[in-house]
Structure 1
Amino acid sequence: MYCQNCRTPVRLDASLKELNPAAFQLLTDSTAPPPQQSAFSTSSRQSRRNYLQDRRDDYQHALQNAQGPTFKRAVPSNRFSHTSAANHTKTGAKENPAMSFVMLTDSQVVQTSSHQAGDEKADSPLSQKQSNAVGLRASDENSLRSHEAETATRLFETLSAHSDIDHPICVECTELLVDGLQKRLGSATRERDVYVDFLRKANADIPSDEERQQAVEALKVARENESFSFAELQRLEQEKAAMDQEITVLDEEAYELDQTEEAFWRERNLYTVTLSSFQSERDGLNTLYDHDSKQLQRLQRTNVYNDTFCIGHDGYFGTINGLRLGRLSNPLVEWTEINAAWGQTCLLLATVAQRLSFSFQGYRLNPMGSASTIEKLDYPQSSSTNDPSYPMRPRITPMELYCTGDLPLGLGFLHRRFDNAMIAFLECLRQLGDHVEHAPTQGTADATHGLKMPYDIRKDKIHDTSIKLSFNQEESWTKACKYTLTCCKYLLAHVSNMNNSPRRSF
């Protein structure tokens, strides 16, 4: 036999082998289920109170729809008949659907061994008698064992059919099964206690006559409140219907307002786009105007005279456009630089005179760089020259405003032409200074006030320093040249102020 749970071989108890028919009948009858009794007997019905009809209907419906157990087996009635038992006794084979083997009887085993020994003692009469006796005993033992096995099998199948457990089972599986059943028993006990407690509370909650009377009065009051509430509900529903109608009208008005608002915002967006384009154009024009204004201011601040003739100083020397005008023993200035400086100074004086529309009396400037000259104009005093049809032609005496530097300084008469040219330049500078001083200044209330030269010029001296190179020291001559450049710078500033004077706005 094998355990029906873990499929391990089991050994049956000796008491199952010695069962008599009465004990077998007693065991099989004890495992049959008791006859079902009605759920409620007459006495219990009389002892318990009557519950509501709907609760009884629910209970009856649950009883009618109750299903059978999950595991239930039925033992066929003709399975263990005497015919099948006789057949099993004769063949010695056990047919059990749970087993996949065939049991051989001891007679077959003994018969096989007897056949092996028959070859040795075939001729002995005593051996034949003994073999016949052993065969009879073996046949009886096999019948007994088959009957015991059949009885045990039927007993286990009967037990399995009336319970949810497949028999036989081993000791270990039995212990596990007992533990599970004990847990189920504890759970069922707790559930029973809960039901008993609920039943006790239900019996205790059964109202008395006084409580019933109070419940009837409370029900009457509740019904009156219900009638009043129903009337109030109808009134509220009428108000709700009126409010729904009003909401519908307001929704229509809101829709119209939404359409109007949408049109307004559409027009407003169009206006915003147009305004933005105008503002962008205005900002562009303002930016362009600011740029042009700054450009105009920059151009107005630009002084072409100062850019063309930059007068400054380099230590003891006066400079024009970086060229030193003067000569000292240390440092020694080349004559080429001095001649170029005089050429720039002559060009400056001629430019200022042209800007002021001034003509020098008796002199004419010829700025030609390092070889600039000044022409002296001598008009003859004769009556025949007063005829306007025959203008007088002056005698022109050129004077060189440069020096080659080949002559020593000790020979003063050799620098006479250069000295005459410098004296003529101072005379032209004096004439232009007097013109600027007596000419009316634009933008001032006093028309007789003008620019006054910083140093006085008298013949060959400027600020009491002679401009002559002959019979003069280098320091004095260099100082006179510096004074000359200072006066030229004042004239240049006067012309620059004339260019930067405010113009009339139209």
Structure 2
Amino acid sequence: MSLLRFFCQRCYQPLRLTQSGKALGLDTSQEPAASKLPSAHQERGDAPEEGSTPAAVEADVEELQNGASGRAHPGDGGVSGPCSSIFTLLGRLSSGRTLHSIQLSVQGTFDIISGEGDRDQPLCQDCTDNLLEHLDTQLMTSESDVQAYKRRLEGVDEDRREALQEELKDAELEEARLARELEETEKNRERAAAALEAAEAETELLEQQERQYQRDYSRLLWQQLDLSDELQSVENQLRYAQAQLAWLEKTNAWRATFEIRDDGPLASINNFRLGCLPAVPVGWGEISAAWGQAALLLLALSRKAGLQFRRFRLVPCGTRSRLQHLSKDSVELPLFFHQGRGGPSYGEFDRAMLAFLDCMQQFKEEAERGEEPGVCMPCRMHARRGLIAEPGASGEGYSIRSESNTEERWSEALRLVLTNLKCSLDWVCSRYCQK
């Protein structure tokens, strides 16, 4: 029989186990003695008594006792409250027990310590009575609290209760209203989310359109700049053309084409001298070119005035100009001269100059026939005799013939011819070339 004992977990008095405790193989017949505890007063190196279990088994029991007794003995002066998981093993194992019975005892003890078994906590009779009295006191206190709470509830004013009921109903109605508002708000939030998504899509589309419009605007602006430059260039060209037009309008084409100078010793037309002097020799080529320019000027003036010559027709050809006789089978009279074989004679050249003077006489008569003032030809002409006189001169004047004439008088006669042509040019310009 072993000397295993249990203490009460409240007052630490030895306990007498019931039949369930004996089934675990625990012996309670021997009184507890502190001197017989193998784990409290013996060292590990002491030899076991005869008839005891082997060393290995007793070492396991000693470890079990040391692990189960995690608190002080009641004789050590320590006081502790009830604990459901701390026990102290007393006594020692009998030498006749087997390892299986030891394992069963240890397993049952651990079940009690850990609270996993269906066994109650070990308490003595007095501690149990005290515990029941304490529980009865707590129960009575709780019942008195309940009764007081009921009396307090019954003492509440009926009006106050109705007011509270009304407030509760209002609160419930407010809760329902807020729930409906919350539901409506959720719906509005969903609609707003859909509208926001549509607005974002529209915004993206508008941004794309804006970028496209910006590109189109930049392209059109570039075209505008090009057109502005082109317009500025055209305006500059227009101003230049207008300036040229104004200059040309002020310019007389007749005077610009035919330039006659008769203020020197020899008259000239377009820088070709007409006549020659001993001191100023002039070649026949230059004289022939001057006669060609004079024939061209007289023909242009007659056409501008609408005059048709009756006896001769002018054929200006530069240095080879001539006049054709209209009544004598188109006889040509050369208005040029050059020395050498095959050239015209002085007689033919003189007849051509006489015919030119006759054409000038016809132009003067045609110009004086109108109502407007006639052409002012200051030099008097006698076409049949071939004479031309200065204005206001009393004599016959100068002969236009080159044969049997001096160079000075012939050159003077030619100068007077160009003077009359210059006056005729001024008359045509003043009459037909005005705006």
**Taking structure 2 as the reference length, what is the TM-score of the superposition?**
0.41
Considering fraction of residues, name the structure with more helix.
1
Bigger-Rg structure (1/2): 2
Q: TM-score scaled to structure 1, two decimals? A: 0.36
